[in-house]
Amino acid sequence: MNPSPSTEAIFEKVGPENLADCGIGCLSNRKHEGLHVVYSAQCPMLPKSVNDLAEMAAENGLELKITKLTSTREAQDAPSYYGVFNLLWNGRLLSDHYVSKGRFKNILKIGILSAEE
């Protein structure tokens, strides 16, 4: 049984030789070092939410790097298939959906700040 052409394209894109470039939870995604949000303006509430997360990160001594996707191509190359919102820590995808302040606080406490101690 031969894979469909669309399946072949997926295998080619995320094959072992391209592992460093896949954003889907890869530990070696070098484009997104540190704490990083990649988002698009699909939802009018996201810019305010991203600013809230940046303030909360700063309160904890972290810089939140922010990348706003402005083209279809950028969204296609987003760290996850859901190009509207991606939260990453040193290239590892922490969330591919919007994160509330409470959830972000838990992510900082459990996944990031505790690892730095």
Range 45-51, long-range pairs (CB < 8 A, 24+ positions): 46/84, 46/85, 46/98, 49/98
More confident residue, 27 or 55: 55
Q: Please give the pLDDT value at position 85.
A: 92
Q: What is the rounded distance in angstroms from the CA atom of residue 116 to the CA atom of residue 4?
A: 45
Fold of 13-116: Glutaredoxin (3.40.30)
Q: By the 8 A CB rule, do 71 and 42 touch?
A: no
Q: pTM for this structure?
A: 0.70
State how beta strands 85-89 and 35-40 pair: antiparallel
Q: What is the rounded distance in angstroms from the CA atom of residue 2 to the CA atom of residue 14?
A: 18
User: Structural domain boundaries of the chain?
Assistant: 13-116
C-alpha dihedral (51, 25, 89, 40), degrees to nearest 10: -20
**pLDDT band at residue 30, thresholds of 50, 70 and 90?**
low
Residue 44 pLDDT greater than 90, yes or no: no
Only one residue has tokens 């049984």, namely 1
